[in-house]
Amino acid sequence: MYDMERSVKSFLDSSEFKEGDKKGIDVPVFNLESILEATNYFSNENKLGEGGFGPVYKGIFLGGQEIAIKRLSSHLGQGLEEFKNEVVLIAKLQHRNLVRLLGYCIKGDEKILLYEYMANKSLDTFIFDRTLCLSLDWEKRFDIILGIARGLLYLHQDSRLRIIHRDLKTSNILLDEEMNPKISDFGLARIVKGKETEANTMRIVGTYGYMSPKYALDGLFSIKSDVFSFGVIVLEIVSGKRNTGFYQSKQALNLLGYAWRLWNEEKALDLMDQTLIESCNRGEVFKCINVGFLCVQEDPRDRPNVSNVLSMLTNEATTPLPNPKEPAFVAKKWISFAPSSSFDKPETSHSNNELTVSTEPGR
């Protein structure tokens, strides 16, 4: 186990992609010509969307096989690092709630990843759209929450490598034909050694609204950083609202602030997406809100691990869940809304880490 861990980390830490490195990659190499034909030379008609590190296209190969093709943008300085992360890590991870890597291509400046095609795109496409959200009743939303948690548990505990995702968000949760969730986009993921559960970085990259305070301010990331992001996702799935860019009230910075106010007023169920009123199991909804708040508590030590999260969500016993402490808030005053930029730290922080934050588009 640890020998594989060391070899993978050594490859990821190197600044090159050598011919010999291909031997350690568990998925096939595709030739560029076949990819160009499958995507009609990366035509706009085949474009599925824009990921954090480049556009994603639908490709149709011989026999009609549909594949999602991510073309890493050559102008991104960290492109090789993210490419190596994905091609190595996803190839070694296999779980029904993780997107499956089918192959890769590297030729000249082109760095391309090929994934199983997800017919329903990403979770944010549905829950934040007032029409498409109608196709996600409560039972399906609860199944999606459980699926994300199971995928995360595999990354943190059950896989051959202990992985911290670092960029968990609704747009990185893909949905297959049956609306089963699959965690995607491992470009920022990190391996932690053995039984370690945290690490730090000089390069802080993530998405505003999903980043835990310790990571955003100090560069300290851990499995509890992913738990924080998961908690935000749970509250977004329940409410149908984004954590950022929705609330205008001075009393609530974001969805977490608004939801916390409802919780303190004993009106937690008012947070629920109104389209769920007829289909919801009120006990499950309340449980999800409670667990969501436990996950976004300010102190990482107070947050449950994913194993405990799953236990709380699936336990049908009437034992009350712990009461959450006030959630962490990210002060808007020091975060710019320019997509993917570097920022100086607030005066209260003495870290020299570089901070790069992406913003999710508003509704």
Question: Which residues are identified as catalytic?
Answer: 167
Strands 203-207, 181-183: pairing is unpaired
Buried b (16+ CB within 10 A) or exposed e, 169-196: bbbbbbbeeebbbbbbbbbbbbbbeeee
Measured distance CA(172)–CA(328) in Å, rounded: 22
Question: What residues contact residue 199 under an 8 Å CB cut-off, 6+ apart?
Answer: 164, 190, 192, 220, 221, 222
**Helices then strands (H, E): number in the chain?**
10, 14
Please name which of 29, 19, 156 lies closest in space to residue 93, comparing C-alpha atoms: 156
Q: Which helix (H) or strand (E) holds 51?
A: strand 47-51
Give the Cβ contact number of residue 121 at 10 Å.
Answer: 16
Q: Which helix (H) or strand (E) holds 163?
A: strand 163-164
Please name which of 124, 363, 105, 98 lies closest in space to residue 236, comparing C-alpha atoms: 124
- Report how far Cα 63 is from the mean position of its chain's Cα atoms: 32
- Report how far Cα 198 is from the mean position of its chain's Cα atoms: 17
